[in-house]
């Protein structure tokens, strides 16, 4: 066992003395040592209960004859970080999480790992660490929050931001805003829609790194604790069988995750994270693969923020395994692949069939192609991403007039102050991986557009990215970004932009001579940075490669 580096032989007596200082007994010295990597936090709602999940995991490890050792990682709540400098640290935290786990588990060699994430960047950061360390590993998230109820209607986190737009229009008053504040987020857990956190937890299950229902079982349910305990038991078996992450994070498994991604209409941020995971695992996955999967995989579920169906509803009709089972019937899933609990074929034998309402069949899908589309054109030579499953039909092919902003807050102010009108394309630039830096999420402007009733007549494009809670004709991840001289840097207010989602195209309708004149003037100088963001901006690559660090 790898932990023998700590406990085998007389020359490890000093190490064993330190272990006994922790309370480790002689009988425990001969058992598998299991790391429990927990992202618990007192001020992240999705992580506030992870101490309880961890306790269940550790109980399961002991049940199966292992010895648990818990340590903690950082974790940014994107909701609390939104609209201020903190959001620039969200994506950037993914690399720190991965690196810190590498440090801890190389300095303290153990035999297996249970990862307990829940929100946003923590999930992919931990998967990247699992691939890098390649020790037997398994994941269990904290589960989703229940939907809230405001004015008699079920709501998610995204509706709070949309309410701000309604408030600025005078459509609702202080009493309704207070109702949102008090009741939109009623429990612990990751926010209740198919936002980035729930998307990544569902895709972790789809890859095969987590137990069935790990992605969808609500945070407050006792079944969530049972899954955690069973996860703790299962890691001891994975150690005995020597099943490792790179046995599971294969190209076939990643394609399964992409098919599931398209079927559930997941967050556009999944594109960034799946590319980064594939890079860390040495698996060849590119935007071309994502585009191909998007074109051929049907969307089977349409969840909040794109509808009033929530992830808890998906759980009630069979969860991700039911989605995968239906996809397999249409030939969209590799069923012979390994997971942490047998093959994918073994798992879906027990899964529910598609109910036809929350999970549609392949014969009668919500749409014939996937929930995410990859666009390209002169404005995004290296690609851009749109959550097409959350775009209104009238915006699928749209030509509009650019209104350009060199940052998110300028754009939000313009939207709320009625500067943006029907027919506009809001362009937010210098918010990419380098230019942001950190590629901050932009829920506020997209939600303000919806709240103002403009989501059927206004588009938004950016070299930054969107929250999984965003909806509307919002095109992100434009690459190359403005800070690297991408064409988005040379758009001017009044230009025409054509967005054609069915044909996967995004074009700036300006002649080459004019563009060359603009390019001669150069781009904005880099922002003055210090601390981690200064190092991050120097090391990070483009969004089309997952915004990973340079090799």
Element (H, E) at 290: helix 287-296
Percent of the chain whose predicted confidence (pLDDT) is above 90:
91
Residue 161 has pLDDT above 90, yes or no: no
**pLDDT classification of 169: cutoffs 50, 70, 90:** confident
Q: Name the phi and psi angles at 377, rounded to 5.
A: 155, -170
Tens digit of pLDDT for each residue in 69-109? 999 999 999 999 988 899 999 999 999 999 999 999 999 99
The span from the CA of 151 to the CA of 155, in Å, is 10
**pLDDT classification of 139: cutoffs 50, 70, 90:** very high
307 is an active site residue: no
Q: Tell me the average pLDDT across 335-342.
A: 97
Element (H, E) at 68: strand 67-72
pLDDT at 441: 86
Please enumerate in sequence order all residues whose Cβ is within 8 A of that of 275, keeping only pairs 6 or more positions apart, or say none.
285, 286, 287, 290, 544, 545, 546, 548
pLDDT at 32: 98
The span from the CA of 124 to the CA of 96, in Å, is 11
Task: Tell me the Ramachandran region of residue 423: left when phi exceeds 0, alpha when psi lies from -120 to 50, beta otherwise.
Answer: left
Residue 469 has pLDDT above 80, yes or no: no
Query: Of these residues, 90, 467, 479, 543, which one is catalytic?
Result: 467
The span from the CA of 246 to the CA of 133, in Å, is 10
Q: Tell me the average pLDDT across 177-194.
A: 96
Q: What is the mean pLDDT of the chain?
A: 95
The span from the CA of 205 to the CA of 228, in Å, is 14
State the Rg of the chain over Cα: 23
Element (H, E) at 427: strand 424-428
Residue 470 has pLDDT above 90, yes or no: no
Residue 501 DSSP code = T
Residue 165 has pLDDT above 90, yes or no: no
Residue written as tokens 């590319």? 275
Which of 551, 548, 407, 546 is closest to 477 using CA atoms? 546
Torsion over CA of 292, 432, 274 and 189, rounded to 10 degrees? -120
Tens digit of pLDDT for each residue in 382-438? 999 999 988 999 999 999 999 999 999 999 999 999 999 999 999 999 999 999 999
Q: Tell me the average pLDDT across 5-9.
A: 93
pLDDT at 120: 87
Other Cβ atoms closer than 10 A to 30: 12
pLDDT at 131: 98
Element (H, E) at 316: helix 311-316
Q: Tell me the average pLDDT across 188-195.
A: 94
Tens digit of pLDDT for each residue in 15-61? 999 999 999 999 999 999 999 999 999 989 999 999 999 999 999 99
pLDDT at 82: 87
pLDDT at 447: 86
pLDDT at 168: 86
Q: Tell me the average pLDDT across 208-236.
A: 98
Q: Tell me the average pLDDT across 170-182.
A: 96
**pLDDT classification of 443: cutoffs 50, 70, 90:** confident
Q: Enter the tokens of residue 269.
A: 């941020």
* DSSP-assigned beta bridge partners for residue 496: 401
Tens digit of pLDDT for each residue in 277-289? 999 999 999 999 9
Contact in structure between 183 and 150 (CB atoms under 8 Å): yes
Q: Enter the tokens of residue 257.
A: 């995750």
Give the predicted TM-score (pTM) of the model: 0.95
SS3 of 248, please?
helix
Residues in the chain: 551
**How far apart, in Å, are the Cα atoms of 353 and each of 81, 135, 277, 359, 360?**
39, 34, 30, 9, 10
Which of 476, 496, 484 is closest to 541 using CA atoms? 484
**pLDDT classification of 472: cutoffs 50, 70, 90:** confident
**pLDDT classification of 467: cutoffs 50, 70, 90:** confident
Does a cis peptide bond (omega within 30 degrees of 0) precede residue 480? yes
pLDDT at 551: 82
Residue 468 has pLDDT above 80, yes or no: no
Please enumerate in sequence order all residues whose Cβ is within 8 A of that of 531, keeping only pairs 6 or more positions apart, or say none.
none
Q: Enter the tokens of residue 278.
A: 């594939």
Other Cβ atoms closer than 10 A to 144: 34
Q: Tell me the average pLDDT across 168-177.
A: 93
**How far apart, in Å, are the Cα atoms of 423 and each of 134, 388, 512?**
51, 19, 24
Q: Enter the tokens of residue 167.
A: 């408030």
The span from the CA of 139 to the CA of 127, in Å, is 9
pLDDT at 352: 98
Residue 471 has pLDDT above 90, yes or no: no
Contact in structure between 506 and 499 (CB atoms under 8 Å): yes
Contact in structure between 192 and 164 (CB atoms under 8 Å): no
């Amino acid at each position: 066992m790898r932990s023998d580096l700590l406990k085998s032989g007389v020359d490890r007596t000093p190490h064993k003395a330190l272990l006994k200082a922790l309370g480790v007994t002689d009988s425990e010295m001969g058992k598998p040592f299991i790391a429990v990597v927990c992202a618990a936090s007192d001020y992240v709602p999705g992580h506030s209960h992870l101490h309880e999940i961890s306790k269940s995991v550790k109980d399961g490890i002991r049940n199966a004859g292992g010895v648990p050792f818990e340590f903690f990682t950082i974790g940014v709540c994107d909701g609390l970080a939104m609209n201020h400098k903190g959001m620039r640290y969200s994506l950037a935290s993914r690399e720190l999480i991965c690196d810190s786990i590498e440090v801890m588990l190389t300095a303290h060699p153990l035999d297996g790992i249970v990862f307990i994430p829940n929100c946003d960047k923590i999930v992919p950061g931990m998967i990247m660490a699992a691939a890098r360390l390649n020790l037997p590993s398994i994941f269990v998230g904290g589960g989703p929050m229940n939907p809230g109820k405001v004015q008699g209607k079920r709501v998610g986190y995204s509706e709070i931001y949309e309410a701000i737009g309604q408030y600025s229009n005078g459509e609702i008053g202080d009493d309704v805003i207070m109702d949102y504040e008090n009741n939109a987020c009623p429990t612990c857990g990751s926010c209740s829609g198919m936002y980035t956190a729930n998307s990544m937890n569902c895709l972790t299950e789809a890859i095969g790194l987590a137990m069935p229902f790990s992605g969808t079982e609500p945070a407050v349910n006792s079944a969530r604790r049972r899954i955690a305990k069973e996860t703790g038991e299962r890691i001891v078996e994975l150690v005995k069988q020597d099943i490792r992450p790179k046995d599971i994070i294969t190209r076939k498994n990643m394609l399964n995750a992409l098919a599931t991604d398209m079927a559930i209409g997941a967050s556009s941020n999944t594109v960034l994270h799946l590319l980064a995971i594939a890079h860390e695992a040495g698996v060849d996955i590119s935007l071309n693969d994502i585009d191909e999967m998007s074109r051929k995989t049907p969307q089977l579920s349409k969840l909040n923020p794109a509808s009033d169906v929530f992830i808890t509803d998906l759980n009630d009709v069979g969860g991700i395994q039911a989605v995968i089972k239906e996809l397999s019937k249409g030939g969209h899933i590799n069923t012979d692949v390994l997971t942490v609990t047998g093959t994918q074929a073994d798992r879906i034998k027990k899964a529910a069939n598609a109910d036809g309402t929350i999970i549609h069949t392949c014969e009668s899908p919500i749409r014939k192609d996937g929930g995410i589309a990859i666009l390209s054109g002169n404005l995004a030579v290296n690609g851009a991403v749109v959550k097409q499953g959350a775009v209104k039909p009238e915006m699928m092919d749209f030509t509009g007039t650019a209104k350009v902003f060199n940052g998110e807050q300028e754009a939000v102010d313009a939207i709320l102050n009625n500067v943006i009108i029907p027919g506009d394309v809001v362009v937010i630039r210098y918010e990419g991986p380098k230019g942001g830096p950190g590629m901050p999420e932009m829920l506020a402007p997209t939600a303000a557009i919806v709240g103002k009733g403009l989501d059927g007549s206004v588009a938004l494009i950016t070299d930054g990215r969107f929250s999984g809670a965003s909806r509307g004709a919002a095109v992100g991840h434009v690459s190359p970004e403005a800070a690297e001289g991408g064409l988005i840097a040379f758009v001017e207010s009044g230009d025409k932009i054509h967005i054609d989602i069915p044909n996967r195209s995004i074009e700036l309708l300006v002649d080459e001579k004019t563009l060359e004149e603009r390019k001669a003037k150069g781009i904005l100088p880099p922002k003055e940075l210090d601390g981690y963001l200064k190092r991050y901006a120097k090391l990070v690559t483009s969004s089309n490669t997952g915004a990973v660090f340079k090799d």
